[in-house]
Each structure stands twice: as structure tokens, then as C-alpha cells.
Amino acid sequence: MSDLYSQAKNDRLGFWAEQARHLHWHKPFSQTLDFSKAPFASWFADGQINASYNCLDRHVLAGLGDRIALLFEGEPGDSKKYSYAELLNETKKAANALIALGVGEGDRVAIYSPLIPETIIAMLAVARIGAVHSVVFGGFSSEALKNRINDAGAKLVITADGGFRKGKAHELKVAVDEAMKDNSCPTVEKVLVIKRTNTPVVMSEHDLWWSDAISAASADHEAKGFDAEHPLFILYTSGTTGKPKGILHTTGGYLTGAAYTHKTVFDLHAEKDVYWCTADVGWITGHSYVVYGPLANGATQVIYEGTPDTPTFSRWWEIIEKYKVTIFYTAPTAIRTFMKVGKEVVARHDLSSLRILGSVGEPINPEAWHWYSKVIGGDHCEVVDTWWQTETGSIMISAIPGAFKSKPGAAQRALPGITVGIVDEAGNPVIPGSDEKASGYLTIDEPWPSMLRGVWGDPERFKETYWSKFPGKYFAGDGARYDEEGDIWILGRIDDVIKVSGHRLSTAEIESALVEHHWVAEAAVVGAKDEITEQAVVAFVILRQDEIADAPSETDIAKILKDWVVKKIGPIARPREIIVVAELPKTRSGKIMRRLLRDVAEGRPVGDVTTLADSTVMSAINAKLHEGVTD
């Protein structure tokens, strides 16, 4: 592994070209990077490639058609295996079905469906024909879905009647119907519906069963190469403003990053490992480390539809035991949940097959790290804490098994080929080991193949959001520090993005959802520390006195407003608390001082209030809380 570091250090672009050449290119590239239009980068631009071919055909042609690609475990207990040959066959049929529906190169296809094999087949079929998928997590509400469909201008929606979650059928088609009501998604021509839960659905003129479309389609489909910079997918994520951003990834560079990091960070030996990443495909982790990375590497992997507690908290451990999983990748929130449940549940299972454990999505506190390593890993596994983002496309900072000893709580070092730094407010580099306060803003200092290529439909927003704070550097939005050995510790977001159970939410987005309710005059949302979910949503609202004349009690108001946020965004954004206040703390220039609200939400004494326009506001909020009227 130390070879990779020195190779990348000596010839960074040569290193990336070599990683890219591990993939199959329909037309080889001669140029590695063009950054002349910075911050817009082109990687491997004169080459042509097909992502689906790399994930499927290539392995089958190499004689690995019988290797298991997917070990699917449904929540109710059903299971199904797909070999690479079977997955290819299904994907070819799906590609032909999409073509028959008029989907072509560059068309956007929204996918709103559970973690079942058909969803992966749908993604690979869309990619195969050069269309662009936009997967929307099934936990988003119909309204959030509608906004994403319309922003992407999707021509087709692929959904399911429902998916199983917590022992129940979670309806999805109904949400699509709701989103499309009154022609509110004018670009959508057809909706393909996968049957999963057998929940009754209304099929209208533009609806078509997935199974009918597939069975009518031929299994012959030759994948052609697309330009390396051809768009592969859009994935919406929350930023600092109210409107989610469509993060755009293109084909050659993204696939290079996903495949290289998946193999390197998890020390993958595809011929013998059984890999399992618990992420949903609605998030970037599901794109890079359930679909593109593992399949491009010919891995055998488990996918599980449901939640870890259904029917009992043993579920995940039963799955690891059943399939003899060797590599396991999950989020700290899940680990902390299991810590609370207790190690006895885990101890009932044989997890000795595990050898690598990964963590992603939020900082992992050393206590959770040790528990993960000891109770799940039986003290014999390597633990890798992987830092990256929707925008980076693949892992940027992580330990590499065997390269050096991993350190509890630290993300550690940039991967070979990736150049990161920490700078102070003025953009000056923070020097590792300079003193114990070696902290600042985390930046990525040179372009990398799987970097986002832009924000869908908004090139200015791309420049402004990521490249303007420290010119010439990508600013990730996270704070970080070096320890005395030069290892990187991630300190969390420094902007108004919060992380709840690893899900990325924008305080501004929740605030705008709240003020859309006719009772709410103003809202301020903060992320308050939470033992399990890392952060929790706490909202402070000022009510419109004229609108609430005959409104219910404050407790009922809080409940109604929480449900309102669920309707507007989805259950992941549901506030833990809604606190009705008369005023919000603002500076003289009118900026809400969230820092003070966070103090209140976390039960700390309120910090310095001297910059407030009205310094009595905080005492009023405190007095209110002590009355005990929160929710």
C-alpha cells in the first residue's frame, strides 16, 4: 500500500490514469486531466466508456458470470440471489424496455423505490443507454419528490408499489401519484411501477408495470461507449440555502474514483470477500458503495431492504452470520443505537467472518469506534473511518488496511491521489503538529476524478458554493484539525448543514418549510447534539398572532408543525422539538444568532449576547423554557 502513496506522490496524474485503465474503455483516453476551465474539470475526456458494461458485461466476458453479484435479503424474510450473468440479463431487458418507452441519451429518469434488486437493475439500465438517473430516497415526501423531478426535468419515473420498512409496507406509488397530481410534473411521460409489497395501487394511463415492460423486452442489448464526461447521475443533497442542489457526476472519472477507493479502502478480494454496505441507494454511499464501486470490482455483496430492528435487533447480525460477511460498512448512528441496545444481542451471533469494518457519514466518537471494533469486530478487524461527501463522489480521507494503524476517532490521511489541506480563515495553511490548536477549514487542493462536475442547471452555484471561499481550492464545508502526528480529525460542518442519523439536512430548508405554514411568521432551526443521531432538529418559531386566534394549545401547535415538516420534506427532517418564542435573537444587521439558540437547545448557559440588537430576547426564551412549554 505504501507503494500507492509514493506512486501517487511522484506522478499524480499518471497514477489516476492507471486507476482509470483498470476499467474497460470502449475508446481509450489519451488525456488525463483538463483543468483549463477551472473549477470545471474534465477527466479522461477523449475516452469513451459505459458504466453498466464495466459493472456487468466485463465480468461475464471474463468468465465470472456465475459469481454472485447480489445476495438480496428482503425485510419480511424473502431472499434472492443474482449472479453477474443474471444481473446482466435483467439489465439488458430493462435497457430495452426503457428505449421502448422513448428514453434516450441524456434524458433524466427519477427512481423512487426501495433497496431491492430491481432498483439496482434500473440504475444500471439507465446508465447503459446513456440516460441520467436521479434517485430520490424513499423517505422523502411527495412534495420533496416533486421538486426533485421538476428540477431534473425527468422524463420517466421508476417506482414501486411500496417497500417493506419496520414490518409494514411503506407506500411509494401513492407518493408519486400525489407528486404528479394536477399535471405538476409536466416533463414526466411515463411511470414504471415495480411490484414489491402487493399494496393496491391505481394505475392510470401513463402508468406501466415494470414486470410487463421487462417481459416484453429482448435480452439482447449491446452497450455502447459514451464520452467520459457524459452525465451519469444527478443526486440531490442539502446545502446552506433552502433549495436542494442536484449534484452532477459524470461517467469516467466517477467510476474510476468509486472502483479504486472501494478496492483500496476495503482491501477487496472479489473472489472471496462478501461485502455489505448498509446504505440505501437513495444516498451517495449507496451509489458509490452499493452500486458502482462493488459491481465495477466484481464483488459479491449483500443488500438488505429493511431497518436493523425488524423483526428484532438481531437482524443485521443474523445476516452477517448467514452470508459470512467479511467487509461491513455502516454509519456511527447505527453503531450508537446498537451500543444502547447492548452487546448481548450481538454476542448471540457468530461474526467471526468479518475482517474489515467501515464507518461513514458523521464523525465516529472514540467510544463508538472501540465498541464497533471490539463487540462487532471481535478485536480482530481493521476499522476504517471514511470521510467524503455527495460532492466528492468517493472516499477522500481514510485509513487503508495494512498501510498504517488506524486511530479511533480520526479519519486520518488523504487517500493516494487526493490532496487535502486545512486552512485558517484567511486561507493560510495550518501546519500539522504546529500546536494543539492546529484546526481550520478542510479543503481539497487539487482536482480528483470523481469530483462533482456541477450543480444541475446552476453553474454559478457550483463556483460560489465550493470554490469562492478559498480561491483555487475546493471547500468542503467541514472543519478539521491535525493531531501531533499529522493525522486529520474531522470536526463537523461549519455551515448550516446538519447531520441527523447521517442524513444531511439544511436548516434553511426546514426553516422555509416551516414558514410556508400559515401560522408561522418566522423560524430558526438548529442542530442540537443528540446521543444517538449525532444531531437532532430543534426549531424555534414565532407565530402569527392573527392566524392563531383559535389555534390549539402550544403542544398541539408543535405536533402539527412537526407533521407539516414531514409532509414538506420527509420523516428524516421531523423536528425533535418545536419551541414557540416571541422573538428570535438577531444581530443589529438582522442575522439570526443560531449559536445562542444552539446553547438553549443543548441546555447550556447562553454565551455572549453583546452583539444582539436586543439583549433581553435570550432571557425571554430561557424564561419560556423554564416554564416547561416546549412540546
The smaller minimum CB distance to ligand PRX, of residues 304 and 388, is found at 388
Nearest distance, CB of residue 289 and ligand PRX, angstroms: 9
| DSSP letters for 568-624 | HT-GGG--SEEEE-S---BBTTS-B-HHHHHHHHTTPPP---TTBSSTTHHHHHHHH
Q: Which amino acid is at 546?
A: D
Is 476 a binding residue for ligand PRX by CB under 6 A? The answer is: yes
Distance CA 292, CA 126 (A): 13
The smaller minimum CB distance to ligand PRX, of residues 151 and 391, is found at 391
The smaller minimum CB distance to ligand PRX, of residues 180 and 490, is found at 490
Q: Which residue has the cell 409536466?
A: 186
Distance CA 526, CA 537 (A): 6
Is 527 a binding residue for ligand PRX by CB under 6 A? The answer is: no
Nearest distance, CB of residue 247 and ligand PRX, angstroms: 8
The smaller minimum CB distance to ligand PRX, of residues 470 and 519, is found at 470
**Stretch of residues binding ligand PRX (CB under 6 A), selected from 133-141, 386-394, 463-471, 603-611:** 386-394
Query: How many of the chain's residues bind ligand PRX (CB under 6 A)?
Result: 22
**Stretch of residues binding ligand PRX (CB under 6 A), selected from 178-186, 413-421, 488-496, 510-518:** 488-496
Is 501 a binding residue for ligand PRX by CB under 6 A? The answer is: no
Out of 409, 421, 477, 570, point to the residue binding ligand PRX (CB under 6 A).
477
Nearest distance, CB of residue 409 and ligand PRX, angstroms: 9
Nearest distance, CB of residue 359 and ligand PRX, angstroms: 6
The smaller minimum CB distance to ligand PRX, of residues 210 and 372, is found at 372
- With beta carbons less than 8 A apart as the criterion, state whether 438 and 482 touch: yes
Distance CA 274, CA 356 (A): 11
**Stretch of residues binding ligand PRX (CB under 6 A), selected from 207-215, 385-393, 420-428, 467-475:** 385-393
Nearest distance, CB of residue 506 and ligand PRX, angstroms: 11
Nearest distance, CB of residue 235 and ligand PRX, angstroms: 9
Is 490 a binding residue for ligand PRX by CB under 6 A? The answer is: yes
Distance CA 593, CA 384 (A): 36
Q: At what angle do helices 594-601 and 617-626 cross, to 10 degrees?
A: 20
Is 390 a binding residue for ligand PRX by CB under 6 A? The answer is: yes
Site residues (CB under 6 A) for ligand PRX, limited to 396-435? 411
Distance CA 66, CA 24 (A): 20
Show Cβ contacts of residue 590 under 8 Å, excluding neighbours closer than 6 positions: 613
Nearest distance, CB of residue 503 and ligand PRX, angstroms: 7
Spell out the long-range contacts of 55-61 with Cβ–Cβ below 8 A and sequence spacing 24 or more. Answer: 55/124, 55/291, 55/292, 55/295, 55/296, 56/84, 56/87, 56/88, 56/91, 56/124, 56/295, 57/88, 57/223, 58/24, 58/298, 59/84, 59/298, 60/84, 60/85, 60/88
Is 570 a binding residue for ligand PRX by CB under 6 A? The answer is: no
Cell numbers for 360: 461513514
The smaller minimum CB distance to ligand PRX, of residues 164 and 236, is found at 236
Is 393 a binding residue for ligand PRX by CB under 6 A? The answer is: no
Out of 108, 133, 336, 493, point to the residue binding ligand PRX (CB under 6 A).
493
Q: At what angle do helices 84-100 and 117-128 cross, to 10 degrees?
A: 60
Is 387 a binding residue for ligand PRX by CB under 6 A? The answer is: yes
**Stretch of residues binding ligand PRX (CB under 6 A), selected from 307-315, 360-368, 529-537, 564-572:** 360-368
- With beta carbons less than 8 A apart as the criterion, state whether 98 and 109 touch: yes
Is 333 a binding residue for ligand PRX by CB under 6 A? The answer is: no
Strand ranges inside 96-241, DSSP E: 108-112, 132-135, 156-160, 162-165, 168-171, 190-194, 207-209, 226-227, 231-237
DSSP 94: H
What torsion, rounded to 10 degrees, do the Cα atoms 281, 287, 288, 293 define? 90
CB atoms under 10 Å from CB of 313, counted, come to 17
Is 504 a binding residue for ligand PRX by CB under 6 A? The answer is: yes
Q: Which residue has the cell 481539497?
A: 444
Site residues (CB under 6 A) for ligand PRX, limited to 225-264? 237
Nearest distance, CB of residue 43 and ligand PRX, angstroms: 20
Is 389 a binding residue for ligand PRX by CB under 6 A? The answer is: yes
**Stretch of residues binding ligand PRX (CB under 6 A), selected from 387-395, 450-458, 543-551, 556-564:** 387-395
Out of 151, 177, 273, 478, point to the residue binding ligand PRX (CB under 6 A).
478
Out of 55, 284, 319, 375, point to the residue binding ligand PRX (CB under 6 A).
284
Measure the CA angle with vertex 267, ends 266 and 268; round to 5°: 85
The smaller minimum CB distance to ligand PRX, of residues 371 and 387, is found at 387
Is 173 a binding residue for ligand PRX by CB under 6 A? The answer is: no
| DSSP letters for 160-192 | ESEEEETTEEEE-HHHHHHHHGGG-STT--EEE
**Stretch of residues binding ligand PRX (CB under 6 A), selected from 221-229, 248-256, 451-459, 473-481:** 473-481
The smaller minimum CB distance to ligand PRX, of residues 29 and 329, is found at 329
| DSSP letters for 2-29 | HHHHHHHHH-HHHHHHHHHHTS--SB--
Is 452 a binding residue for ligand PRX by CB under 6 A? The answer is: no
Nearest distance, CB of residue 565 and ligand PRX, angstroms: 19
**Stretch of residues binding ligand PRX (CB under 6 A), selected from 15-23, 60-68, 384-392, 528-536:** 384-392
Is 386 a binding residue for ligand PRX by CB under 6 A? The answer is: yes
Nearest distance, CB of residue 279 and ligand PRX, angstroms: 8
The smaller minimum CB distance to ligand PRX, of residues 50 and 392, is found at 392
Phi and psi at 8, nearest 5°, equal -70, -35
Q: How far apart are the first and last CA of the chain?
A: 53
Distance CA 451, CA 389 (A): 10
Is 388 a binding residue for ligand PRX by CB under 6 A? The answer is: yes
Is 361 a binding residue for ligand PRX by CB under 6 A? The answer is: yes
Is 465 a binding residue for ligand PRX by CB under 6 A? The answer is: no
- With beta carbons less than 8 A apart as the criterion, state whether 340 and 313 touch: no
Out of 73, 171, 362, 511, point to the residue binding ligand PRX (CB under 6 A).
362
SS3 at position 274 = strand
- With beta carbons less than 8 A apart as the criterion, state whether 445 and 421 touch: yes
Distance CA 539, CA 92 (A): 48
Is 336 a binding residue for ligand PRX by CB under 6 A? The answer is: no
- Please report, for residues 168, 189, 235, 426, 600, the alpha-carbon distance to residue 478 in angstroms, rounded to integers and kept in the order given: 37, 40, 20, 16, 23
Q: Which residues of the chain form contacts with ligand PRX (CB under 6 A)?
A: 237, 284-285, 360-363, 385-390, 411, 476-478, 490, 492-493, 499, 504
